[in-house]
Amino acid sequence: PYNGPSADEVFQKRKKFLGPSLFHFYQKPLNIVEGKMQYLFDETGRRYLDAFAGIVTVSCGHCHPDILNAINEQSKLLQHATTIYLHHAIGDFAEALAAKMPGNLKVVYFVNSGSEANELAMMMARLYTGSLEMISLRNAYHGGSSNTIGLTALNTWKYPLPQGEIHHVVNPDPYRGVFGSDGSMYAKDVQDHIDYGTSGNVAGFIAETIQGVGGAVELAPGYLKSVYDIVRKAGGVCIADEVQTGFGRTGSHYWGFQTQDVVPDIVTMAKGIGNGLPLGAVVTTPEIASVLATKIQFNTFGGNPVCSAGGLAVLNVIDKERRQTHCAEVGSHLIQRLKDLQKRHDIIGDVRGRGLMVGIELVTDRKDKTPAKAETAVLFEQLRELGILVGKGGLHGNVFRIKPPMCFTKDDAAIVAKLYKKEEAGRKKVMEEEEDEDDTFEDAVCSKTPARVNTPLSVITEAFENLADLLKPDISTDEDGLSLDAFCSA
């Protein structure tokens, strides 16, 4: 049993000693004390089905045994020494990662986060091309560090500081974008930006293939292929930000960029690569990588033995447990079910995504697509009450993001058995109330899970059915007195 401080004590200490820019989900913040595969537990032992994976980070499952084992074994031997000495783990990991890459993408730099990866990618693009001008998409998120904040194009995250030589082109968003699903028209906008807004030469173009923070927006078909040609003709390099879309999550492909049939010049990654370890990477060609050889590019923790051992274990688990195929199967099932739900509920304006990277956009009217901000905030709270943790995103905070850990295999059965013991003690009442033996999303995700466990889909349905009751006027502020707007866009 948990003997630590109460949720309120944890929250008060965090408010007192941590920076005021931190935000939290839920009016009454959730205190998570343990995680096992796709489940999280609060301090009372209540179990939640985690459909957000710590912001798409816990790729293989919380505390996955193989990954924990690799981290523990390496920690016992050596935690850290830096790349000033030799150690086999960094090379082994880099080799395995390079093997996952197409073409000549064979040189790896390890860093500690997605922002660092994109900083480094931008630095290489600028040094390699001799141009400073970068292009990124509106509605993109590429980081919060001083340079990547410029690439990011969502005002919630942008402090008024110099953003440097960055052009934000029209977002090829099939649902809200001005050109609908016509990838070639959006590509033309990139050409226009280069012609009118730059010297004619650019350093590079960066994009996610499915925008994560922006609300699971999949780029219009054919967009990247045309844009990569345009950018390369203008002397630039093409960067794929795979921080959220990589490692099989899209189901149809291992990397998001493959869904648009392109090969980038630089690929950046983080989050899922470490299943929770602070780890990021940049993979590029030997030619582009060589621009950094004129000086020293050093990163104290980049590729440290523990992170490298853990990262290699992640790659192995994804292969061994056939996560990509699994994401394709489970994801298409989920998306289909959500589309069925959309037919019954006008508030669901759009259901989109690929594999286990899914978005549900809520609107108050389908014609004008007015963001259903308040309704999303209320449903979000309701889902938590029902034991389901999803994410929220988009400029208006009106998109649910469903991106669970990609887990569940026979090998997990032993862990699951343990979970049930724990649940029996802590959640009997909730379980009884939530009995639901329908053929559901979770049945597909977790074939070993007894049917009595509630499912994201039935919970979402339930929440939607009760929407009218849920919409009470007292949600205008959260506990910290944040406005509804701030709350919705966090």
To ligand PMP, the closest distance from the beta carbon of 78 in angstroms equals: 25
To ligand PMP, the closest distance from the beta carbon of 474 in angstroms equals: 31
115 binds ligand PMP (CB under 6 A): yes
| Dihedral of the alpha carbons of 284, 60, 321, 383, in degrees to the nearest 10 | -130
Residue position matching structure tokens 């999550």: 249
How far apart (Å, rounded) are the C-alpha atoms in residues 260 and 105?
17
To ligand PMP, the closest distance from the beta carbon of 146 in angstroms equals: 12
Q: Which is nearer to ligand PMP, 93 or 141 (by Cβ)?
A: 141
Binding track, positions 124-163, relative to ligand PMP; x by CB under 6 A: -----------------xxx--------------------
Site for ligand PMP in 160-199 (CB under 6 A): none
Residue position matching structure tokens 């990991």: 93
Instruction: Count CB atoms within 10 A of the CB of residue 287.
Output: 11
To ligand PMP, the closest distance from the beta carbon of 112 in angstroms equals: 8
End-to-end CA distance of the chain: 32
How far apart (Å, rounded) are the C-alpha atoms in residues 146 and 144?
7
Q: Specify whether the CB–CB gap between 135 and 150 falls below 8 A.
A: no
Q: Which is nearer to ligand PMP, 244 or 489 (by Cβ)?
A: 244
Picking from 27, 26, 17, 25, the residue whose alpha carbon sits closest to that of residue 55 is 25
Site for ligand PMP in 198-227 (CB under 6 A): 208, 212-213
244 binds ligand PMP (CB under 6 A): yes
Instruction: State whether the Cα torsion 453-334-383-489 is positive or negative.
Output: positive
Element (H, E) at 350: strand 348-354
Q: Which is nearer to ligand PMP, 241 or 350 (by Cβ)?
A: 241
Instruction: Count CB atoms within 10 A of the CB of residue 88.
Output: 10
To ligand PMP, the closest distance from the beta carbon of 142 in angstroms equals: 5
To ligand PMP, the closest distance from the beta carbon of 143 in angstroms equals: 4
CA distances from 482 to 373, 378, 388, 470 (A): 14, 15, 23, 20
Q: Which is nearer to ligand PMP, 41 or 257 (by Cβ)?
A: 257
To ligand PMP, the closest distance from the beta carbon of 300 in angstroms equals: 17
| Structure tokens that stand for 441 in this block | 């999303």
Q: Which residue in 113, 308, 398, 461 binds ligand PMP (CB under 6 A)? A: 113
How far apart (Å, rounded) are the C-alpha atoms in residues 141 and 144?
8
List CB contacts of 362: < 8 A, sequence separation 6 or more: 347, 348, 349, 371, 372, 375, 376, 379, 398, 399, 400
Question: Which residue's CB comes closest to ligand PMP?
Answer: 114
To ligand PMP, the closest distance from the beta carbon of 238 in angstroms equals: 16
Q: Which is nearer to ligand PMP, 141 or 464 (by Cβ)?
A: 141
| Structure tokens that stand for 384 in this block | 């938590």
Picking from 315, 239, 248, the residue whose alpha carbon sits closest to that of residue 284 is 239
User: By rule CB under 6 A, what count of residues binds ligand PMP?
Assistant: 15
Q: Interface with ligand PMP by CB under 6 A: which range of 165-173, 237-245, 402-410, 426-434?
A: 237-245
Q: Which residue in 35, 54, 61, 114 binds ligand PMP (CB under 6 A)? A: 114
To ligand PMP, the closest distance from the beta carbon of 53 in angstroms equals: 12
Q: Interface with ligand PMP by CB under 6 A: which range of 39-47, 88-96, 99-107, 240-248?
A: 240-248
How far apart (Å, rounded) are the C-alpha atoms in residues 427 and 454?
12
Q: Which residue in 241, 350, 381, 423 binds ligand PMP (CB under 6 A)? A: 241
281 binds ligand PMP (CB under 6 A): no
Q: Which is nearer to ligand PMP, 55 or 475 (by Cβ)?
A: 55
35 binds ligand PMP (CB under 6 A): no
Site for ligand PMP in 46-65 (CB under 6 A): 55
List CB contacts of 260: < 8 A, sequence separation 6 or more: 209, 219, 221, 222, 223, 224, 225
Q: Which is nearer to ligand PMP, 401 or 427 (by Cβ)?
A: 401
How far apart (Å, rounded) are the C-alpha atoms in residues 24 and 119?
26
Q: Specify whether the CB–CB gap between 240 and 264 falls below 8 A.
A: yes
Element (H, E) at 286: helix 286-289
Give the rounded distance of the alpha carbon of 10 from its chain centre. 26
Q: Which is nearer to ligand PMP, 139 or 244 (by Cβ)?
A: 244
To ligand PMP, the closest distance from the beta carbon of 344 in angstroms equals: 31
270 binds ligand PMP (CB under 6 A): yes
Q: Which is nearer to ligand PMP, 56 or 190 (by Cβ)?
A: 56
Residues that bind ligand PMP (CB under 6 A): 55, 113-115, 118, 141-143, 208, 212-213, 241, 243-244, 270
